[in-house]
């Protein structure tokens, strides 16, 4: 078993090495096999390992493997070793399995691209780094994966490097997440100073013993780690990079900016949940940030024209739900929503990518339309994904995951009416913007004509994801319905179960409320975008719409308060004023040199005069003495 | 004696290359390559035969009298730290010969003479245990480097070489003055007039005197390192030097400053160093942030890389004044990793300049398409420069900051902002050079086999350091503990009056009750 565990991240790394060292010489089919195959084998190994894990759980619920001692200096130790428990198993499954589907899809998606091997090399490196992130047994190794995925995200957002705007988007993503990462690094320092180790298990065991709940140290540590999570998971106030990150190819958006990397923050918080429990203020902040983010991003999604930007804002919003869940202590609900979200959001991105490709790089939904008949397969799968995203009751997986979060947002120990309200408003927004997108793109008059139909390598992965988006929810039913909670049961070894405080109102009321909200959102979208009922287009209304469209002007704010000052600062002192000081020392010397050397002019009368003056001077001195 | 050979081989090789240069352009290259390879072979075999030295202070200690009248001896000694630095010196030396294979076509004999003599000076600096000898080698590095810049440099080379010479010469003289004063103080109080480092360690003097003398040493080392505000020679010298010169400047000359701090300043003046620590750390932070800021603004790619050195060397001085093993291991790693990563970036600039005859990044852009291998090299070393885990620089900066965090949280927080700064300038290099639109369409050839070999060696080294850093830690540990012991003795002295003297390894020697 241990060897399988070690191979899971190593195989994609090998794929990366092969593709990057010899890639351009191999025939395309070999590149595709190496690229997708390495992730595929990892997926198979993960499934085998997962089945073994579930059928006969190992002692302590953990499979681990130690590869080598990484750093041993001055009392600091870190190993390259991996640890698999239920939490990392779920993440591994999503990364390798969904990752594999996306790789297969990419074979067709990228088939005419010059950078075919570069693409798969980066993708493999990404999968490997992401796996290291979730399997790391210590925080430094986790940080290695964390920065590795950041690098791959940067490289893949800017994959089409000839367009400067793509490069800007890539740099924006890297820099903003790096700001969060730096906070996280300081958090690591703090943890090491306190516990003398960065081994995750040891810290989690020692923290409750040596830190009092609510005291300064856990609050600081949790807050600093949260900084990293906010950057990677694109939550307030570090969310602005994700919409721009859509400059990358669609499979990248599906894999990195929807299914896996952006949920690394969720993983980090879940992994270090002990610290967050010790810091109730920070945990409350997680919930509030999640609630605010899901609303803000929801409103922005409502006004976008670019198909992928709608999905990007939707991703920010859905991760907001995960943060909300973590914040109220519904740990497993947050992770459950992560998994289901990975299915339907990857599906939506892949389907959107297919639409964009067959329409010759058309991103604007208002130039699309009527695609329902032209692309039936894409339409049906996209519809399934949208239904799951909107959490249509009973038959979509999204319902089960999101409903759980809404219920706990109210009923759990840390829940409140306000958090629930934010969630339910967000649910309404979700189904509204989702079906706005569906109706405009697939219904109505035909817009741009498709040039061709997507091939099988694209349709099959999308279809598999569609099945998962429907059926994935049945492994975790609401407790009031039936005793079928495979998911949270599996996780109960790793994450504490949520404690319910309020049961004055039965869960079914909340479920009905959210069902009504989801359906009414769709209905309103239908009225607005199929029946074309005009809303009063007052200027104020438009201005607000534009404000949402621009992502609540966060970019403008940061531009004015951070970017401009930094650029200004670097411009004014480009030549380095310190140099000027030393230069002027030189100039002064040269100046005196000029003056004094003028005296050496070779004219006898000057010298005679100087001698005379000197004699007079000396004589005067002597007389006075 | 083997240590003397290390230096003599380079000196003799230099002379030989000069003479051979009269006959042929190519022979000096081979002579230089041969001399450096022999030295590298010796250094590596010393490493292999001393694999498990434990905490032994010195692996090899050689002493012969030179000018006994003044107490000057030819005292060379080698420990893990110096061995690391020597291996680095010879590897970078070999690479700088290879990198000049096409670039340097004029007067190759004299060029390689200078190159080898700089390297012999550097080797001497890393080995000297006699302060007079140390100063001798310190100056020996300087003059041939002046020639290297002023003869084979770029357009503004004369100005740059003067500036380099004046800064280092003036600061070196101040150090020499301090050495002399230390010599006389020690002589007066003990009756033994000697320049021997091991004897001078522990010289008792009043606190103000010690502080002044320390400043004298510091001036020389901080200029070399360099520390803001004494850094202005660096951008000019690095920018104008030929590629081999920049490689040696960034990779080795700066490291002699760091080495000097660890080897001489801390052990000779532990008390004064503790007093100076807050200022030292502040200087480090200023260097990190100000260097990054200046790097971000540059349009000359070589100048940009030069300023990143100022930023990265800030971590060195920050770590040195943290006085703990974590930070010191980070500092040693930074010395090596920075040499490799910045050296590689200078090589890359040199290769670009050879091809497109400009260093102006606004005249580049979109080069990836034509030269993907160069692009990949640039990518890897930009990532090293911004501290990506998995590469050596991360280990260095992580440990330095971790060690500093123990001592001074505020400074660490400010210094870690440098990581964001490093991201800004590193990504700017990539964007302006390799990505984006082709502002000017050049016809470029990607790296030749020779060039691939050079970059390949550097890439393998930086990755190796990033994932297997332990051999470096193991080698550096005894030397680091030696340096730190003087500080802990200092701390113990304040606490415990009974202990009156200490031997060099730091064991307290109880005062004799008689």
pLDDT at A576: 79
A147 touches chain B (CB under 8 A): yes
ipTM: 0.91
pLDDT at B362: 86
pLDDT at B503: 43
B165 touches chain A (CB under 8 A): no
CB-closest option in B297, B379, B467 to A570: B297
Helix (H, G, I), strand (E, B) or coil at B510: strand
| Residue pair A310/A395 in contact by the 8 Å Cβ criterion | no
Show Cβ contacts of residue B411 under 8 Å, excluding neighbours closer than 6 positions. B281, B282, B284, B285, B318, B404
A contact residues 85-124, partner B, Cβ 8 Å cutoff: 118
Residue B308: list chain A partners with CB under 8 A.
Answer: none
Residue B310: list chain A partners with CB under 8 A.
Answer: none
> What are the residue ranges of helices labelled H in A196-258?
200-210, 216-232, 241-244, 250-254
> What are the residue ranges of helices labelled H in A412-506?
417-442, 456-471, 486-491
Chain B: closest CA distance from residue A305 (Å): 26
Task: Band the pLDDT of A54: cuts 50, 70, 90.
Answer: confident
B contact residues 245-304, partner A, Cβ 8 Å cutoff: 293-294, 296-298
The verdict on a CB contact (< 8 Å) between A175 and B406 is no
The verdict on a CB contact (< 8 Å) between B293 and A578 is no
Cα of B112 vs its chain's centroid, Å:
21
Mutate which of A73, A79, A228 to test chain B, going by most B C-beta atoms within 10 A? A73
CB-closest option in A144, A162, A175 to B424: A175
Chain A: closest CA distance from residue B72 (Å): 36
**Tokens 């570069």 sit on residue:** A118
Segment A439-460 mean pLDDT: 85
pLDDT at B53: 56
Show Cβ contacts of residue B350 under 8 Å, excluding neighbours closer than 6 positions. B99, B103, B242, B243, B246
N-term to C-term CA, chain B: 42
Chain A: closest CA distance from residue B119 (Å): 29
Task: Band the pLDDT of A598: cuts 50, 70, 90.
Answer: confident
The verdict on a CB contact (< 8 Å) between A570 and B294 is yes
Chain A: closest CA distance from residue B291 (Å): 10
pLDDT at A505: 79
Segment A138-153 mean pLDDT: 94
The verdict on a CB contact (< 8 Å) between B424 and A189 is no
pLDDT at B495: 59
Nearest to A290 by CA among A347, A226, A351: A226
pLDDT at A559: 86
CB-closest option in B294, B325, B416 to A75: B325
* Mean pLDDT computed over every residue of chain A: 89
A59 conformational bin, left if phi > 0, alpha if psi -120 to 50, beta if neither: beta
Chain B: closest CA distance from residue A34 (Å): 20
Residue A182: list chain B partners with CB under 8 A.
Answer: 416-417, 419-420
Taking the C-alpha atoms of residue A468 and residue A462, their distance in angstroms, rounded to an integer, is 10
pLDDT at B328: 93
Tally the residues of chain A. 625
B413 touches chain A (CB under 8 A): yes
The verdict on a CB contact (< 8 Å) between B470 and A570 is no
| Residue pair B38/B94 in contact by the 8 Å Cβ criterion | no
pLDDT at B474: 87
pLDDT at B499: 44
CB count within 10 Å of CB B265 equals 25
pLDDT at A446: 80
Give me the half-sphere count of Cα atoms (radius 13 Å) on the Cβ side of residue B289. Answer: 14
The verdict on a CB contact (< 8 Å) between A73 and B469 is yes
Instruction: Report chain B's C-alpha Rg in angstroms.
Output: 22
Question: For chain B (length 514 residues), average pLDDT per consecutive 10?
Answer: 90 92 89 93 87 65 87 89 93 93 87 94 93 93 92 89 90 93 90 88 86 92 89 90 92 92 90 90 93 90 92 93 92 94 93 88 86 91 93 94 91 92 92 86 86 93 94 88 79 55 45 41
Decide if pLDDT at A580 tops 70.
yes
A contact residues 547-586, partner B, Cβ 8 Å cutoff: 566, 569-571, 573-574, 576, 578-579, 581-582
The verdict on a CB contact (< 8 Å) between A164 and B416 is no
Give me the half-sphere count of Cα atoms (radius 13 Å) on the Cβ side of residue A433. Answer: 32
Concatenated DSSP letters for B197-253? HHHHTT----HHHHHHHHHHHHHHHHHHTT-TTS-THHHHHHHHS-HHHHHHIIIII
Chain B: closest CA distance from residue A70 (Å): 6
Nearest-Cα residue of chain B relative to residue A144: B389
Segment A282-311 mean pLDDT: 92
The verdict on a CB contact (< 8 Å) between A571 and B473 is no
Residue B294: list chain A partners with CB under 8 A.
Answer: 570, 573-574, 576
pLDDT above 90 covers a percentage of chain A that reads 50
pLDDT at B443: 85
Decide if pLDDT at A599 tops 50.
yes
pLDDT at B16: 92
The verdict on a CB contact (< 8 Å) between A178 and B376 is no
Decide if pLDDT at A240 tops 50.
yes
The verdict on a CB contact (< 8 Å) between A73 and B329 is yes
Residue B293: list chain A partners with CB under 8 A.
Answer: 569-570, 573
Taking the C-alpha atoms of residue A543 and residue A407, their distance in angstroms, rounded to an integer, is 35
| Residue pair B178/B216 in contact by the 8 Å Cβ criterion | yes
pLDDT greater at residue A521 or residue A600: A521
Residue B385: list chain A partners with CB under 8 A.
Answer: none
The verdict on a CB contact (< 8 Å) between B294 and A154 is no
The verdict on a CB contact (< 8 Å) between B325 and A162 is no
Residue A158: list chain B partners with CB under 8 A.
Answer: 435
Cα of B204 vs its chain's centroid, Å:
30
Cα of A160 vs its chain's centroid, Å:
20
Decide if pLDDT at A439 tops 70.
yes
pLDDT greater at residue A345 or residue A542: A345
Q: Rounded to the nearest 5 degrees, what angle is found at the Cα of A87, between the Cα atoms of A81 and A92?
A: 70
Show Cβ contacts of residue A61 under 8 Å, excluding neighbours closer than 6 positions. A85, A86, A493, A494
pLDDT digits (tens, 9 = 90+) for B8-28: 999 999 999 999 988 888 899
pLDDT at A113: 86
The verdict on a CB contact (< 8 Å) between B366 and A579 is no
CB-closest option in A80, A151, A178 to B420: A178
CB count within 10 Å of CB B189 equals 11
Q: Rounded to the nearest 5 degrees, what angle is found at the Cα of A238, between the Cα atoms of A232 and A239?
A: 80
Decide if pLDDT at A346 tops 90.
yes
Helix (H, G, I), strand (E, B) or coil at A159: coil
């Amino acid at each position: 078993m241990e060897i399988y565990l070690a191979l899971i991240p190593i195989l994609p790394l090998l794929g990366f090495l092969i593709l990057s060292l010899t890639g351009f010489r191999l025939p395309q089919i070999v590149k595709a096999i190496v690229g997708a195959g390495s992730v595929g084998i990892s997926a198979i190994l993960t499934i085998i390992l997962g089945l073994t894990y579930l059928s006969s759980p190992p002692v302590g619920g953990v499979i681990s493997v130690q590869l080598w001692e990484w750093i041993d200096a001055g009392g600091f130790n870190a190993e390259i070793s991996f640890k698999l428990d239920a939490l990392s198993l779920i993440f591994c499954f999503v990364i390798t399995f969904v990752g594999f589907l996306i790789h297969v899809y990419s074979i067709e998606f990228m088939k005419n691209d010059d950078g075919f091997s570069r693409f798969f090399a980066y993708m493999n490196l990404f999968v490997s780094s992401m796996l290291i992130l979730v399997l790391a047994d210590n925080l430094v190794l986790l940080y290695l994966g964390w920065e590795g995925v950041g690098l791959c995200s940067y490289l893949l957002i800017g994959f089409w490097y000839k367009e400067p705007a793509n490069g800007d988007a890539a740099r924006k993503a890297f820099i903003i997440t790096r700001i969060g990462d730096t906070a996280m690094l300081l958090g690591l320092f703090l943890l090491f100073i306190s516990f003398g180790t960065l081994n995750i298990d040891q810290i989690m065991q020692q923290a409750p013993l040596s830190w009092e709940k609510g005291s300064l140290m856990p609050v600081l540590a949790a807050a600093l780690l949260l900084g990293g999570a906010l950057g990677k998971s694109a939550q307030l106030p570090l969310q602005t990079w994700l919409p721009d990150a859509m400059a990358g190819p669609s499979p990248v958006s599906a894999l990195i900016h929807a299914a896996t990397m952006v949920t690394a923050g969720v993983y980090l918080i879940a992994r270090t949940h002990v610290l967050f429990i010790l810091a109730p203020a920070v945990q409350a902040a997680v919930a509030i940030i999640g609630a605010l983010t899901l609303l803000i991003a929801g409103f922005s999604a409502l006004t976008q024209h670019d198909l992928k930007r709608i999905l990007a804002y939707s991703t920010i919003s859905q991760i907001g739900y995960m943060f909300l869940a973590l914040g109220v202590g519904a740990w497993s609900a947050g992770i459950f929503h992560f998994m289901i979200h990975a299915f339907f959001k990857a599906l939506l991105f892949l389907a959107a990518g297919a639409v964009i490709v067959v329409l010759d790089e058309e991103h604007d939904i208002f130039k699309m339309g009527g695609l329902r008949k032209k692309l039936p397969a894409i339409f049906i799968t996209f519809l399934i994904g949208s239904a799951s995203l909107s959490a249509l009751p009973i038959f979509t997986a999204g319902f089960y995951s999101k409903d759980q979060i809404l219920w706990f947002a109210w009923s759990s120990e840390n829940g409140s009416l306000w958090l629930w309200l934010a969630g339910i408003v967000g649910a309404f927004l979700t189904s509204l913007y989702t079906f706005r997108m569906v109706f405009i793109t697939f219904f109505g008059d035909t817009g741009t004509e498709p040039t061709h139909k997507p091939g099988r390598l694209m349709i099959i992965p999308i279809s598999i994801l569609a099945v998962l988006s429907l059926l994935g929810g049945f492994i975790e039913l609401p407790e009031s319905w039936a005793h079928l909670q495979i998911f949270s049961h599996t996780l109960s070894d790793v994450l504490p179960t949520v404690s319910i405080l309020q049961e004055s109102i039965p869960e079914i009321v909340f479920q009905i409320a959210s069902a009504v909200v989801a359906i009414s959102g769709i209905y309103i979208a239908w009225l607005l975008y199929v029946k074309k009922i005009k809303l009063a287009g007052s200027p104020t209304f438009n201005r607000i719409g534009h404000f949402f469209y621009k992502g609540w002007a966060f970019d403008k704010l940061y531009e004015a308060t951070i970017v401009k000052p930094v650029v200004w600062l670097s411009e004014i002192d480009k030549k380095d004023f310190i140099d000027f000081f030393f230069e002027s020392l030189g100039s002064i010397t040269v100046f005196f040199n000029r003056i004094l050397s003028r005296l050496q002019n070779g004219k006898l009368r000057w010298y005679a005069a100087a001698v005379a003056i000197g004699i007079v001077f000396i004589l005067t001195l002597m007389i006075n003495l | 004696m083997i240590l003397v050979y290390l230096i003599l081989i380079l000196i003799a090789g230099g002379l030989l290359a000069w003479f051979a240069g009269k006959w042929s352009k190519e022979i000096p290259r081979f002579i230089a390559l041969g001399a450096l390879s022999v030295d590298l072979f010796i250094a590596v075999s010393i490493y292999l035969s001393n694999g498990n030295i434990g905490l032994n202070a010195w692996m090899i200690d050689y002493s012969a009298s030179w000018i006994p009248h003044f107490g000057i001896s030819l005292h060379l000694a080698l420990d893990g730290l110096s061995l690391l630095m020597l291996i680095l010196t010879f590897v970078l030396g070999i690479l700088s010969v290879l990198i000049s294979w096409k670039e340097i076509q004029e007067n190759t004999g004299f060029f390689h003479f200078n190159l080898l003599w700089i390297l012999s000076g550097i080797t001497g600096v890393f080995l000297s245990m006699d302060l007079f000898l140390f100063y001798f080698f310190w100056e020996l590095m300087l003059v041939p480097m002046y020639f290297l810049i002023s003869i084979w440099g770029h357009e503004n080379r004369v100005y740059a070489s003067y500036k380099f010479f004046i800064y280092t010469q003036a600061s070196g003289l101040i150090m020499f003055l301090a050495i002399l004063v230390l010599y006389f103080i020690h002589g007066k109080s003990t009756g033994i007039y000697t320049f021997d480092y091991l004897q001078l360690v522990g010289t008792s003097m009043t606190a103000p005197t010690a502080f002044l003398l320390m400043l004298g040493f510091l001036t020389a080392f901080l200029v070399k390192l360099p520390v803001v505000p004494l850094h202005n020679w660096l951008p000019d010298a690095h920018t104008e030097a030929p590629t081999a010169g920049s490689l040696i400047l960034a990779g080795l000359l700066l490291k002699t400053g760091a080495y000097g701090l660890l080897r001489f300043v801390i052990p000779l003046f532990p008390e004064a160093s503790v007093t100076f620590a807050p200022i030292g750390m502040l200087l480090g932070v200023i260097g990190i942030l100000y260097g990054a800021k200046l790097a971000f603004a540059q349009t000359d790619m070589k100048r940009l890389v030069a300023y990143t050195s100022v930023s990265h060397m800030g971590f060195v001085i920050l770590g040195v004044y943290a006085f703990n093993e974590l930070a010191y291991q980070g500092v040693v790693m930074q010395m090596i990793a920075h040499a490799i990563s910045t050296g590689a970036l200078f090589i890359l600039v040199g290769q670009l300049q050879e091809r497109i005859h400009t260093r102006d990044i606004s005249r580049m852009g979109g080069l990836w398409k034509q030269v993907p291998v160069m692009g990949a090299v640039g990518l890897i070393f930009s990532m090293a420069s911004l501290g990506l885990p998995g590469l050596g620089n991360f280990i260095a900066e992580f440990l330095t900051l971790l060690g500093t965090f123990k001592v001074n949280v505020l400074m660490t927080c400010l210094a870690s902002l440098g990581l964001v700064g490093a991201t800004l300038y590193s990504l700017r290099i990539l964007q302006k050079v390799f990505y984006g639109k082709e502002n000017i369409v050049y016809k470029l050839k990607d790296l030749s086999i020779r060039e691939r070999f050079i970059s390949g060696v550097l890439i393998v080294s930086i990755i190796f350091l990033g994932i297997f850093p332990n051999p470096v830690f193991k080698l550096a540990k005894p030397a680091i503990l030696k340096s730190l012991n003087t500080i802990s003795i200092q701390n113990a002295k304040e606490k415990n009056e009974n202990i009156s003297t200490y031997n060099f390894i730091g064991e307290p020697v109880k005062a004799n009750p008689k």
